[in-house]
Amino acid sequence: MPTKKALAAAIAVFALAVLLGTPDRAHAGGQPPLQGVFKDNFTLLDPPVPAPQTGFTDAGGREITLAAFEGQVVLLNFWATWCAPCVREMPTLDRLQDKLGSQGLAVVAVSQDRGGLAVVAPFVKQLGLRHLEIYLDPRGALSRAFGLGGLPTTLLIDAEGRLVGGLEGPAEWDSEEALALIRHYLEGVRGQGGPVKTGG
């Protein structure tokens, strides 16, 4: 079974290669702190590249793109109700949104369930998630735009709409290591007076 480090490398080298160019462990804009599991598992892109603007939908059925989160740092998570590792990490994403949402972070957890809202809404309620909005990509258009394969996969997009890195596999997104990584990118948001738009 491949290690998480190998899976992260596979995302960067193969799954994102066509769209994103050549990844590297360095970062042109100043390397963020990579600690704990993120040191081995999170792959940075050098240079960051514009994120695709493929449409997905919110809980109200409205089509949106990542441009709806302009001015915010976005943690884009691909998940599904049938994916056990996804389900385990969802509460950590919910707590992360609670902790850093007011500082300019948008945790955008996009379900890949083919059943759409009818499947996802009761599941989110059952998990007791109170801070995450529901986003849907039942046909996998957004995940294909990023060239992804496995779930969960989580990508970090800076406030300028550029993909800066990501990892495949579950993580503790409300851990101190994750907070340190994300706060590195939030510094620019706070310096510009906070987010200018919100999605949903």
Over range 25-52, report the average pLDDT. 82
- At 196 the pLDDT is 43
Q: What is the pTM of this model?
A: 0.83
What is the CB neighbour count within 10 angstroms for residue 16? 23
* pLDDT per position as a tens digit, 113-156: 999 999 999 999 999 999 999 999 999 999 999 999 899 999 99
- At 31 the pLDDT is 81
State yes or no: pLDDT of 15 exceeds 50.
no
State yes or no: pLDDT of 28 exceeds 60.
no
Please report how the helices 176-191 and 84-100 are oriented relative to each other, as an axis angle in degrees rounded to 10: 40
DSSP 33: P
**Cα-only R_g, the chain:** 15
- Residues of the chain with pLDDT > 90, as a percent, come to 74
Q: Are 12 and 41 a contacting pair, CB within 8 Å?
A: no
For the chain, which domains are there? 4-191 (3.40.30.10)
- At 30 the pLDDT is 73
State yes or no: pLDDT of 194 exceeds 60.
no
